[in-house]
Chain A
Amino acid sequence: MNRARVARHAGQGALLVALFVFLFPIAWLFSTAYKRAADIFAIPPVLTFTPTLRNFETLFEFFNVPQLTLNTIIISFGTAIVALTLGTPAAYALARLDRWWAHGIAYFFLAIRMIPPVAILIPFYLMMRDVGLLGTYWALIILDAMQSTSFVVWMMFGYFRGVPKEIEEAAVVDGCTQWGAFIRIVLPTVVPGLIASALFCILFAWNNFIFPSFLTNSQTRPLSVALVSAYGSNEINWGTMGALAHFSVLPIVALALLLNRYFVQGLTRGVH
């Protein structure tokens, strides 16, 4: 018993070290929001400072933070919904298909993610102009969803392949339709995968920069674009960036904490 506890504490210790490494830079970034600009880069650099909220004032004066946050949420969640809706059934179909070219199509989806953004940015920009969607949320959701669907198909393909066919076949024998079996029997077993996929889609769209910078206008701009534009002039500077970063980071943390409850061990019981 003791050995297990020691091992567990050692594991937690290691996690704490990892957390420190991952969170220290973020803590620094957040701390710039509470410092005067002259103090952010004081020489020699120290950890103490006198706090101020001026940066938040400046931030709200020059940026429509609620609008930016709303835009980011709409784009990210929209992308995730589209990607999951398109990708999950496709992944299931591919996983259950017993043809040799099923793998081929799966690879095709994978290949989509390989495309360097700069290759399709300008052509896509012009395409969106031609259909009149430039500057709307849809332009960005369409493009982001393309890359996200690819990920979803690949991620869920692996999970679905791991679910033995016998489960559904048993359900069909018991009177379920194919689709019903899918929804009610198969999907619940891959919930961890779905959650991870959703999180990933949201994350990818949340902090994407180069696509939104070209495809959105000042009304539909997300936080990532504003964050970078903030940096550079004398009045809008690191402090404001640090303040804005709060809005870019905290919603996702909240989301992750929320979804974590469903991110549990697979529900497969003895399948015999």
Chain B
Amino acid sequence: MIGLPALLYMVLVALWPLGQGLYYSFTDYTLTRPGRVNWVGWENYTDMFADPSARRAILNTFVFTFAAVGLQLAVGLGLALLLWRESRFNRIALALMLIPVTVTPLAVGLMFRAMLEPDFGILGYWARVLGLSPTRGFLADENLALATLILIDVWEWTPLMALILLAGLKSLPTDILEAAEVDGASRFQRFWRIIVPMLLPAIFLALVMRSMDAFKIYDSVFVTTGGGPNDATNVLMYHAAKIGLEFFQIGAASAVSTFMLICVGLLAASFVLMIRAAESRLGAR
């Protein structure tokens, strides 16, 4: 079967290291002491749940994921609808709109940090002076820091959402759409009764893909706030990377990543169920 190469590839490249990671999560493997590896059972996991920093990271990660992806979906769908029609303007607009996605996320983080700097940033300075931002700036405020990171993520990835949804819109069979128009259905009806149900696979794809990536947010946190102020932007991936790549405690870091994997899996599964329900309710395939 032609599907086989892909499957084998996955198993080799992904599952093997993953299995190793899972094994490590039950040990105290530290990269700087490779000789002494002991089995510690669930200790890494219990430590994680006992750590208030880690617990806050769990909360922040979920809040971030839902808020960012939700906003991206809404705005992305709006943009996709606006770009649906064939026209030179739309083609160029789409290409230009993909630019935020082409800058590496780490650089995007650095860019926004520089712009939002309350002492000399082109956006941050004026926001502070005009009273639109707290004196310390958006990123140093405990209540606004996470929201700011969410908006940065929205800025960066909405165009990609729009692209996926647009591809879905363009793949819709034109004959059905034309028939609906001829039949006199209103725009609203056309949208909800015909377009959305047929677009559900694309929406699902966009939702799941972006959620999985948003859950793993790291780059912007790393360069803007370092997880602060005071854990306000601490997220799981940052926490894991710090433990694994700064302290070199591979065991503990693997526990955090395994936990992340489970969370994302449950998230994706719930999306699947939700979309299935929506599909059957809206009468599509």
Identify the A interface with B (CB < 8 A). 8, 11-12, 14-15, 18-19, 21-23, 25-26, 28-29, 41-45, 47, 86-87, 89-90, 92-94, 105, 107-124, 127, 142-143, 145-146, 149-151, 153-155, 158-159, 161-162, 189-190, 192-193, 195-196, 199-200, 203, 206-210, 223-224, 227-228, 231, 238, 241, 245, 248-249, 252-253, 256-257, 260-261, 263-266, 268-271
Who on chain A is nearest to B259 by CB?
Answer: A116
Contact residues of B between 186 and 215, Cβ < 8 Å to A: 198, 201-202, 204-205, 208-209, 212-213, 215
Identify the B interface with A (CB < 8 A). 1-3, 5-7, 9-10, 13-14, 16-18, 20-21, 31, 78-79, 82-83, 85-86, 89-108, 110-112, 114-115, 117, 119-122, 125-126, 129, 155, 158-160, 163-164, 166-168, 170-175, 198, 201-202, 204-205, 208-209, 212-213, 215-216, 218-219, 236-237, 240-241, 244-245, 250, 253-254, 257-258, 260-261, 264-265, 268, 272, 285
The residues of A that contact B110 with a CB separation of less than 8 Å are 228, 231, 241
- In the complex, the answer to whether B101 meets A203 with C-beta atoms within 8 Å is yes
Task: Tell me whether chain B's interface is mostly helix, strand or loop, or mixed.
Answer: helix
CA distance A119 to B253 in the complex (A): 8
- In the complex, the answer to whether A142 meets B13 with C-beta atoms within 8 Å is yes
CA distance A264 to B167 in the complex (A): 9
Partner of A206, one of B95, B102, B108, B202: B102
- In the complex, the answer to whether A264 meets B5 with C-beta atoms within 8 Å is no
The residues of B that contact A12 with a CB separation of less than 8 Å are 89
A-B contact pairs, 17 of them (CB 8 A): A22-B158, A26-B99, A41-B117, A90-B6, A93-B1, A94-B3, A107-B272, A114-B215, A119-B261, A122-B244, A155-B164, A196-B163, A200-B160, A245-B107, A248-B102, A252-B101, A256-B94
